[in-house]
Amino acid sequence: MANAIGMIELNSIARGIEVCDYMVKAAQVELLRASTVCPGKYIVVVGGDTGAVESSMKEGIQKSGECAVDTLFIPNIDSQVTLAINMTNPIERFGAVGVLEFYSIASAITAADTAAKAANITLVEVRMGCAIGGKGIVTLTGDVGAVKAAVEAAQQGSELMVGSTVIPRPSPKLIENLL
């Protein structure tokens, strides 16, 4: 499991694919996501040991040049974040649902980490850019008080936030749709 995460967002898909190759060759990292995102950008997300992710990011940033739009490096990432990025975090039970929406993918990943560290919640998903206009969305669940605390903590230090909500008693149809 990754204890650090790094992300580079580029405004060129061709350069993004090339940068991805350089990043995974530069260090022993796990490729968590490499894909196009709206509107015509490309993201590369890697995880692993802090030193390896740092080396991979250094190489990726250098090779990105003027095509780099945004970067993110988080050492000591909460283990739920990488699972939520891949939508593989086991959800034992749904409680209240919290949603955080950002104009930036990096902001959403940072908020997910903050929320997971702030309260006893379960991250459901960190959605990154695809079919949502390049935005980032974090969905989480837990007891109402924990969800409110997590959403509030994530909002405190967040950048480029669009909005958030807490749904205390979500409909079973909504829960089914979130999965």
Same fold, 4-75 and 79-178: yes
Cα-Cα-Cα-Cα torsion 147, 149, 150, 153, nearest 10 degrees, comes to 160
For the domain covering 4-75, report its CATH number: 3.30.70.1710
* Per-residue model confidence as pLDDT tens digits over 125-169: 998 876 667 788 999 999 999 999 999 999 987 888 899 999 999
- Distance of alpha carbon 50 from alpha carbon 172, whole angstroms: 39
* Contact status, residue 150 vs residue 115, Cβ threshold 8 Å: yes
Per-residue confidence band for 99, with pLDDT thresholds at 50, 70 and 90: very high
- Report the CATH fold assignment for 79-178: Alpha-Beta Plaits (3.30.70)
Q: What is the pLDDT of residue 162?
A: 93
The pLDDT, as a whole number, for residue 48 is 95
Percentage of the chain beyond pLDDT 70 is: 97
As to burial, measured by CB atoms within 10 angstroms (0-12 exposed, 13-18 middle, 19+ buried), residue 66 is exposed
Query: Where are the domains positioned within the chain?
Result: 4-75, 79-178
Please count the other Cβ atoms lying within 10 Å of the Cβ belonging to residue 40. 10
Half-sphere exposure of 175 (CA within 13 A, CB side): 15
- Asked if residue 177 has pLDDT above 90, the reply is no
Q: Is 50 exposed, middle or buried (0-12, 13-18, 19+ CB in 10 A)?
A: middle
In this prediction, residue 160 carries a pLDDT of 85
Our CA angle for 138, 139, 141, nearest 5°, is 140
Whether residue 9 contacts residue 45, with contact meaning beta carbons closer than 8 Å, is answered with no
The token duo for 119 is: 């309260």
Pairwise pLDDT comparison (100 vs 92), residue with the higher score: 100
pLDDT at position 2: 63
Q: What is the pLDDT of residues 11-46, one digit of tens each?
A: 999 999 999 999 999 999 999 999 998 888 999 999
